[in-house]
Amino acid sequence: MMIVLLIISVLVLIALPNVTKHSKSIDEKGCQAFVKMAQGQVEAYKMEHHTIPTIEELTADNYLPEDAKCPDGTEISIDDGIVIARSNNEDD
């Protein structure tokens, strides 16, 4: 029984760093996907309203959810019709 617990503990100690390392990669890919989706919504808004929207206009017209952020909490912005993910520690 002790040997089985020892083996399981070793496997957990080996697997845990790999899971945390891949978590950041998953967050980055989730943010990239959200930015692409938001860019599609910007294009749809431009086709319907013939103007470049702001994040506020997209959320008000239900093109984006109220809390329009990447899954990891990164803010997005629109610059000349291009959606950009802003790091949480970036200054405007």
More confident residue, 23 or 2: 2
Residue 91 pLDDT > 50: no
- CA neighbor of 36 nearest in space, from 70, 74, 87: 70
Query: What integer pLDDT is reported at residue 88 of this predicted model?
Result: 60
12 belongs to a structural domain: no
Query: What integer pLDDT is reported at residue 3 of this predicted model?
Result: 92
Distance CA 55, CA 38 (A): 9
Distance CA 51, CA 81 (A): 9
18 belongs to a structural domain: no
Task: Confirm if 71 and 29 have CB atoms less than 8 A apart.
Answer: no
Domain range spanning residue 53?
26-86
Residue 71 pLDDT > 80: yes
Mean pLDDT of the chain: 88
Mean pLDDT of 67-89: 87
56 belongs to a structural domain: yes
- CA neighbor of 48 nearest in space, from 62, 34, 35, 36: 62
Considering the chain, what percentage of its residues have pLDDT values greater than 90? 64
8 belongs to a structural domain: no
53 belongs to a structural domain: yes
17 belongs to a structural domain: no
Residue 71's H or E segment, with its range, is none
Rg of the chain over all Cα atoms, to the nearest angstrom = 20
Query: Per the structure, how many domains does the chain have?
Result: 1
